[in-house]
């Protein structure tokens, strides 16, 4: 069984409408919606107009995007689904995204991901992949690239089995996949299909320019990760880069690449 999992929060109505349209346009349609609905969220009635089984997870204790994601992940960990495709309701999915994800997961991969295409308004989509050929040289997940997010990935639910603790980092997605890699071997594959990633001016990763802030953000992610040799190596490397003033990044949407 497969579900499309996301947090339902208050967004502009047209954003939700465009997301729902992309859900309805998927070439593979036999999936449920696994929805964590914020207590004050509008729009659930629109999702119910889709011909989908909806698993509606509610929590009155949700107070932040980090809490939202923690509740979503732990609810999925206890669910009946074999496969989960993640999404974000202010983004749009290419029509083949669910089908491509499912095909790759059935081949034995336990994490799959797709490239992003940035846009703000639907009419502004330029169809230029964010990462393109750079993805060919990356072994994921690792501490160098923040590529795996809850808007462009799908997983075998079995990888969540040992993840029974809370993630605190504001860069939740990066911490989430690094933590997964510390408790289970991840077999990751790039797939066909795209997530059209809506860029907002207040996006955390779109407003990083100060070296000290970048360093602190990395430390925050590292504090979230289960202790291990890789974490120690990265912490030493990070401190050395800061000491010689060579900590620079490409901060482009989800992209978070040390150069």
Quick one: what percent of the chain has pLDDT higher than 70? Answer: 88
Instruction: Give the list of residues 6+ apart from residue 159 with CB closer than 8 angstroms, or none.
Output: 110, 111, 180, 184, 186
Instruction: Give the list of residues 6+ apart from residue 14 with CB closer than 8 angstroms, or none.
Output: none
Please determine, for residue 188, whether its predicted confidence score (pLDDT) is greater than 90. Answer: yes
Looking at residue 206, its pLDDT comes to: 52
Looking at residue 199, its pLDDT comes to: 80
Neighbours of 81 (CB within 10 A): 18
Q: pLDDT (tens digit, 9 = 90+) per residue, 166-177?
A: 899 888 999 999
Q: Determine the Cα–Cα distance for residues 37 and 32; give it in Å rounded to an integer.
A: 15
Torsion over CA: 104, 106, 108, 113 (sign):
positive
- Scan for tokens 């029509």, then name that residue: 95
Least confident of 189-198, 211-220, 235-244: 211-220
Q: pLDDT (tens digit, 9 = 90+) per residue, 17-56?
A: 999 999 999 999 999 999 998 877 778 889 988 989 998 8
- Report which DSSP code applies to 69: H
Render the burial of 109-148: b for 16+ CB within 10 Å, e for the rest.
bbbbbbbbbbbeeeeeeeeeebbeeebeeeebbebebbbb
Looking at residue 108, its pLDDT comes to: 94
Looking at residue 256, its pLDDT comes to: 63
Q: Determine the Cα–Cα distance for residues 188 and 113; give it in Å rounded to an integer.
A: 8
């Amino acid at each position: 069984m497969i579900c499309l999992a996301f947090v339902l929060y208050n967004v502009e109505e047209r954003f939700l409408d465009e997301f729902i349209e992309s859900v309805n346009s998927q070439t593979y349609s036999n999936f449920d919606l696994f929805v964590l609905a914020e207590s004050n969220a509008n729009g659930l009635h629109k999702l119910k107009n889709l011909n989908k089984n909806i698993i509606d997870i509610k929590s009155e204790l949700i107070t932040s995007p980090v809490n939202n994601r923690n509740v979503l992940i732990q609810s999925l960990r206890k669910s009946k689904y074999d496969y989960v495709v993640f999404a974000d309701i202010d983004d749009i999915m290419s029509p083949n995204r669910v089908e491509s994800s499912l095909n790759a997961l059935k081949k034995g991969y336990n994490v799959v991901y797709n490239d992003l295409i940035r846009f703000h308004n639907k009419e502004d989509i330029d169809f230029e992949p964010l990462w393109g050929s750079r993805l060919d040289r990356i072994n994921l997940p690792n501490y160098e690239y923040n590529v795996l997010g809850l808007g462009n990935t799908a997983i075998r639910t079995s990888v969540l089995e040992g993840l029974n603790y809370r993630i605190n980092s504001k860069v939740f997605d990066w911490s989430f996949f690094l933590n997964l890699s510390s408790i289970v071997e991840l077999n990751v594959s790039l797939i066909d299909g795209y997530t059209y990633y809506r860029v907002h001016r207040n996006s955390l990763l779109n407003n990083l320019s100060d070296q000290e802030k970048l360093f602190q953000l990395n430390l925050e992610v590292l504090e979230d990760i289960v202790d291990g040799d890789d974490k120690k190596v990265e912490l030493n490397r990070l401190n050395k880069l800061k000491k010689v003033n060579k900590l620079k990044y490409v901060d482009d949407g989800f992209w978070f690449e040390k150069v």
